[in-house]
Amino acid sequence: MDGDNTSKGLNRTEKMKVYFFTNEFPPNIYGGAGVHVDYLSRELSKKVSLHVRCFGSQDVHQDSFSVKGVEAPSQLLKNIPKSLSSVFSAFYQNLGFFNSFSDAQIVHCHTWYSHLAGIMAKLAYGIPLVVTTHSLEPLRPWKREQLGGGYDVTCWIERETLRLADAIIAVSRSTKKDILDHFAVPEEKIHVISNGIDTNEYQPVPEKEALIRYGIDPNQKYLLYVGRITRQKGIIHLARAISKLDPDMQVVFCAGAPDTPEIKKELDEAISEIKKTRKNIVWITENLDHRCLIQIYSHAYLFCCPSVYEPFGIINLEAMACGVPVVGTKVGGITEIIIDGETGVLVPLDADAMNRGSQEETVKFSGRLSDAINSLYHDSNLRSSMAEKSRKRAVEVYNWNNIADQVVKIYKSLLS
């Protein structure tokens, strides 16, 4: 494969020129897709000439790495319903990508926000198109609450992009199955490459300054949740489980970026009600830097990922790398990260019933969460064993350098 690049006019010493199209890129990261793009780009920039086009004001230029952000002018959205603003502004920002990628050999899209640029690169310039599926729109029906008719647009743009893509990267085996179940694409186009974790950065640390700063009692065992306030992440179900948790257990939410005012209000009301009978609840709404977050991970007794849909779940790797066992939902990519009974506990969920709005399943799921958390909380020997095995699994299995090598192999196959 060493000579594959010569078919596109490169000699053996030149680097392949790859363009990333993405919504999120540092410092603008609010979800797992952004974390993925951040860390993968660090490794890929050592192997290819990488140029990132993203949403924002970023402007970085180095020898074989650049980042250029595009912003949507505020007047563009003044007559557009709020629910549609993210869709239309995304399309405008995609148009802003077009001046800078005609020399690309590969374009690589992350999330529907960047797919229009990917389609144009493929159709207008004939550039091979790679798409990483961090999530799938048909499996996120609650997005209609946020986007209205814009949800139909995001479903359309995702469907067309996956149809046109030369290669699709699924972040888990579960996601590959979901792609085949919901999209008419050949199976041979789909490659399973998981997300990763930098275990040199994410590792247990002794410092506790961040705990004290944000009101966490460092002398009290705590359950930790990290994630956005969205239906997908299941934070409401965890909030409703708190009343059944051991009263000595501190509960810490690192949760911001609500999808809608309605779900923020729903969580506000749920936690306000719980606080009438227990005081050991901490809710951190600001976006924490890595140093603070790693401290909070490191001293957590347990981590909970109650997602109702999760293609992968990088937050679980972050917790595991910091030596914290995870109580996670038995859905999607979570089942491939957590070894049930060894590195954590998997909690069953009837996702179809949940998506139909079943109140019975909602109540049962919250009960299963509280039972699993309480059981592990009271078994200190099992908890300690899981903590050790969690860190070991993160180090041995989820390495960003290996993941980058797999991605480059796909690029080369498209150029050969």
CATH code, domain carrying 217: 3.40.50.2000
> Residue 67's pLDDT is what?
96
Residues 221 and 186 in one domain: no
In a domain, 203, yes or no: no
In a domain, 201, yes or no: no
Q: Give the residue with greater pLDDT, 370 vs 4.
A: 370
Q: How confident is the model at residue 8 (pLDDT cuts 50, 70, 90)?
A: very low
Residue 267 has pLDDT above 60, yes or no: yes
Q: Give the residue with greater pLDDT, 362 vs 379.
A: 379
> What are φ and ψ of residue 253, in 5° steps?
-105, 120
Residue 221 has pLDDT above 50, yes or no: yes
> Residue 316's pLDDT is what?
96
Q: Tell me what the mean pLDDT of segment 258-262 comes to.
A: 87
Residues 186 and 272 in one domain: no
Q: pLDDT tens for residues 112-141?
A: 999 999 999 999 999 999 999 999 999 998
Could you tell me which of 69, 66, 54, 61 has the C-alpha nearest to residue 24?
A: 54
Number of domains in the chain: 2
Q: Are 98 and 19 in contact (CB under 8 A)?
A: no
In a domain, 66, yes or no: yes
In a domain, 204, yes or no: no
In a domain, 214, yes or no: yes
Which range marks the domain in which residue 379 is found?
Answer: 209-397
Q: Tell me what the mean pLDDT of segment 171-194 comes to.
A: 96
Residues 110 and 236 in one domain: no
Kindly report the average pLDDT of the chain as a whole number: 92
> Residue 4's pLDDT is what?
42
In a domain, 218, yes or no: yes
Residue 321 has pLDDT above 60, yes or no: yes
Close Cβ partners of 133 (under 8 Å, ≥ 6 residues apart): 162, 168, 169, 170, 171, 175, 179, 311
- CA distance readout (Å), 189 to 2, 85, 252: 22, 33, 41
Residue 185 has pLDDT above 60, yes or no: yes
Residues 368 and 405 in one domain: no
> Residue 142's pLDDT is what?
85
